[in-house]
C-alpha cells in the first residue's frame, strides 16, 4: 500500500484549537506513559523498531511524542513507535508534548499520524475509519475532510471489513491487494469467492480476479439482470452510499443500504421519507 498523500499540513494545523493551550515539551518517565489501545496500528515491524532504537541511542529522540493526561499518568496520542523504541534503547525518560483532548480528537490524531508517517495496512486503516464513525458518531464526510480523502474512498475502505475471515486475513497479511479484495467483495457465492481467493493468493492478477467476479455474476444473471443493476446504480447515485439489491428465483428480493452511525441513518430516512427526522 502506498503512502497516503495530501496530509502535509501537519497534526497541529489540523487541530489548531489544541495549538494554543500552553503546551510545552517536557521530560516524562517512560513508566508514566501507556499506549492507546484504540489506536489503529496493531503491529510494529521488529527490525525497523530496533533500527530506530539504535538511532535514538546515537542521536537522541529528535521529535517528541504527543500525550494527554490519563488516569494517574499519561496516554500516547501520537508517537507510540518512538516510545517503544526509546524503551528498547534503555531510556528511562522521553521528550513529550502534553495536551488535553477528548477521546474523539485522540482517535483522529492517532489515525492521521499513522497515515502521515507510516503505512497502515488496509484493514487497520479501514478499522480506524469505522471506529471514528461508530464510536464517535463521525460521518464519512467528516472523516474524509479530516484525512483529505473523498467520502467514497472512506466508505469503500470500511466496506473491505465486510470480507469473509479468510479474505480479510489475506488482505491484512499482504497476500492480496485492495484491488483483489474489492473484486472478491462482489462475489456472493462462498465457494466461488473461495476459489477466486486461492487463485489471487497464488498470483492471479486483479484483472483475473475481476474476471472471476464477472463469471460469478454471469452464473447468477437470472437473479440479478440488467434491470436490477440499473435500479441499484440509480439508488447508489441518489443516496450516495452502497446499495445492494438481491433477488430470488421467485422474483422476491430485498434492498440493503449501508450506514455506520445515527446521522447516516437519519440522512437515508430523510431522503426516502421526504421529511426531517
Q: How do the pLDDT tens digits run along the chain, 277 residues long?
A: 333 333 334 444 434 444 445 567 899 999 999 998 877 777 788 888 899 999 999 889 988 999 999 989 999 988 888 999 999 999 999 999 998 888 888 888 878 777 765 567 899 889 889 888 888 788 899 888 888 889 999 999 999 999 999 999 999 999 999 999 999 988 877 888 899 999 999 999 999 888 877 776 665 554 456 778 888 888 888 887 888 888 765 667 888 888 888 888 888 888 887 666 5
**pTM of the entire predicted model:** 0.57
User: Which of helix, strand or coil describes residue 21?
Assistant: coil
At which residue does the C-alpha cell 523504541 appear? Answer: 85
What grid cell was written down for 253? 428480493
User: CA 211 to CA 204: how far, in whole Å?
Assistant: 11
Report how far apart, in Å, the C-alpha atoms of 93 and of each of 12, 33, 100, 274 are.
Answer: 24, 10, 20, 59
How far, rounded to the nearest angstrom, does the alpha carbon of residue 210 sit from its chain's CA centroid?
Answer: 23
Q: For domain 11-125, give the CATH number.
A: 3.90.1530.30
d(CA 143, CA 200): 31
Strands (E), 24-63: 25-29, 33-34
d(CA 155, CA 157): 5
Measured distance between the N- and C-terminal CA atoms of the chain, rounded to whole angstroms: 40
**Rounded Cα–Cα distance for residues 121 and 275 (Å):** 41
Grid cell in block for residue 111 = 489515525
Q: Quick check: 207 and 181 in contact, CB under 8 A?
A: no
State the Cα–Cα distance between residues 188 and 138, nearest whole angstrom. 29
Q: Write the CA distances from 138 to 132, 168, 201, 260, integer angstroms.
A: 6, 24, 35, 9
Q: DSSP 3-state assignment of 75? A: strand
CA separation for the pair 125, 160 (Å, rounded): 10
Catalytic-labelled residue, pool 54, 58, 80, 198: 80
Q: Which SS3 state, helix, strand or coil, does residue 116 take?
A: helix
Alpha-carbon torsion angle 200, 203, 204, 205, nearest 10: 100
DSSP 150-194: -HHHHHHHHHGGGS-HHHHHHHHTTSS-HHHHHHHHT--SHHHHH
CATH 3.90.1530.30 placement within the chain = 11-125
Is 54 an active-site residue?
no
Amino acid at each position: 500500500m502506498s503512502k497516503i498523500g495530501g496530509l502535509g499540513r501537519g497534526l497541529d494545523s489540523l487541530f489548531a484549537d489544541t495549538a494554543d493551550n500552553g503546551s510545552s515539551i517536557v521530560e516524562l518517565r517512560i513508566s508514566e506513559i501507556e499506549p492507546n489501545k484504540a489506536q489503529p496500528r496493531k503491529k510494529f515491524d521488529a527490525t525497523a523498531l530496533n533500527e530506530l532504537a539504535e538511532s535514538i541511542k546515537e542521536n537522541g529522540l529528535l521529535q517528541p511524542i504527543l500525550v494527554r493526561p490519563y488516569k494517574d499518568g499519561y496516554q500516547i496520542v501520537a508517537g507510540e513507535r518512538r516510545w517503544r523504541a526509546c524503551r528498547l534503547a534503555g531510556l528511562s525518560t522521553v521528550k513529550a508534548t502534553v495536551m488535553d483532548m477528548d477521546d474523539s480528537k485522540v482517535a483522529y490524531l492517532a489515525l492521521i499520524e499513522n497515515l502521515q508517517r507510516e503505512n497502515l495496512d488496509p484493514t487497520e486503516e479501514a478499522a480506524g475509519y469505522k471506529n471514528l464513525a461508530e464510536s464517535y458518531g463521525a460521518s464519512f464526510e467528516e472523516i474524509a475532510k479530516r484525512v483529505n480523502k473523498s467520502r467514497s474512498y472512506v466508505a469503500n475502505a470500511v466496506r473491505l471489513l465486510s470480507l469473509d475471515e479468510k479474505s480479510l486475513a489475506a488482505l491484512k497479511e499482504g497476500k492480496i491487494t485492495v484491488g483483489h479484495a474489492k473484486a472478491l467483495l462482489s462475489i456472493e457465492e462462498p465457494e466461488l469467492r473461495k476459489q477466486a481467493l486461492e487463485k489471487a493468493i497464488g498470483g492471479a492478477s486483479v484483472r483475473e480476479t475481476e474476471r472471476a467476479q464477472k463469471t460469478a455474476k454471469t452464473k447468477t444473471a437470472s437473479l440479478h439482470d440488467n434491470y436490477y443493476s440499473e435500479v441499484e446504480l440509480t439508488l447508489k447515485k441518489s443516496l450516495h452510499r452502497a446499495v445492494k439489491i438481491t433477488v430470488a428465483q421467485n422474483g422476491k428480493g430485498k434492498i440493503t443500504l449501508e450506514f455506520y452511525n445515527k446521522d447516516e441513518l437519519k440522512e437515508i430516512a430523510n431522503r426516502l421519507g421526504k421529511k426531517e427526522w
